[in-house]
Chain A
Amino acid sequence: MSLRDQIRKGSTEILILSLLAERPMYGYQISQELQRRSGGYFDMKEGLLYPTLHRMKQEGYLTSEWREVSPARRRKYYVITDKGRQVLSEQAVEWRTFIEKLLPLLAPEPGSAEDS
């Protein structure tokens, strides 16, 4: 698994929670929103969203409800719970801290080229 895939895999949960914090969505819609808003960066196998969604539901971060879209068709919408919002808040803090601490380390220190 490439580094990019690892990063995507590790951020799937917070991405889903972020979208659902705006409004309830169904699986296909979530996959399309992720792709659209990221400019194609978060372009994972769409089916892999479902095990993650189902696991998050088992853990209490989400609930789900079926909605009729036509007489013979319905969609399963996912709704974030209070616990999910709390987890989202905590994970968002972690990610921001991670990025804040990572970026300075990626930039070369002034004068380091002279030392070497």
Chain B
Amino acid sequence: MRGVEESSLTDVAAVLAHIQAQLDLDRETETEVLEEIRSHLEEAVAQARSRGVSETAALAEAAARFGLEETGAKLQQTHAGWGTAEGVLAAALPVLCALVLRWLVFAPDGTAVGWPQVLLRPAFWIVAAVALLVPLLRFRQWRYAVAIWAFFWVITVIFLIWPAQRW
């Protein structure tokens, strides 16, 4: 992100906008984070003003002391960064669910059961639901869960297209 220009910092809202532009969080988290930062900046400005500094200079000083660029990036990483567990979940869960589904679709002798029969099996719907619900509960943003679910279906289709294997 290019450096913040002082001329663009007209008020606290403008400063917050710089930070908000770096965030991609769920609405509730973002609102709370920005409110906390707003409170900080307003108090920093008020303290500078109490020393006789002008409004513009106080705002610039508060923004400089705050560290807009570094803070935005760190906040995003803190609230939306993936840890090892999330990475493993995103990679392994769709594959595992697709393998279970493949076991359900293909009969033990390797012949396909057929989709009408598969769709009647509660286990099919349970596996499909698990592949969606677990990521939804784990990840803060629903788009990650949807992407993982889509990956699950892609793998499932691939498994079904490949020649049936005896289990």
A residues sitting closer than 8 Å to B (CB atoms) are: 26-28, 31, 45-48, 50-51, 54-55, 58, 73-76
> Cβ of B78 and Cβ of A28 under 8 Å apart?
no
Within 8 A of A (CB), among B30-49: 32-33, 35-37, 39-40, 42-44
| Least Cβ–Cβ distance between B164 and chain A, in angstroms | 46
Q: Which of B60-68, B104-112, B115-123, B147-155 contacts A (4 or more CB under 8 A)?
A: B60-68
| Least Cβ–Cβ distance between A56 and chain B, in angstroms | 10
Q: Which of B69-77, B91-99, B124-132 contacts A (4 or more CB under 8 A)?
A: B69-77
What chain B residues lie within 8 Å of A75 (beta carbons)?
Answer: 39
> Cβ of A51 and Cβ of B78 under 8 Å apart?
yes
| Complex: chain A residue closest to B67, CB-CB | A45
> Cβ of A74 and Cβ of B71 under 8 Å apart?
no
| Complex: chain A residue closest to B74, CB-CB | A51
| Complex: chain A residue closest to B66, CB-CB | A47
Most buried by B among A26, A27, A45, A58: A45
With A27-B40, A74-B39 known as contacts, the answer to whether A47 contacts B79 (CB < 8 A) is: no
> Cβ of A55 and Cβ of B66 under 8 Å apart?
no
What chain A residues lie within 8 Å of B78 (beta carbons)?
Answer: 51, 54-55, 58
> Cβ of A46 and Cβ of B77 under 8 Å apart?
no
Q: List 20 A-B contacts (CB under 8 A).
A: A26-B39, A27-B39, A27-B40, A28-B39, A28-B43, A28-B44, A45-B66, A46-B66, A47-B19, A48-B70, A48-B71, A48-B74, A51-B71, A51-B77, A54-B79, A73-B42, A74-B35, A76-B35, A76-B36, A76-B39
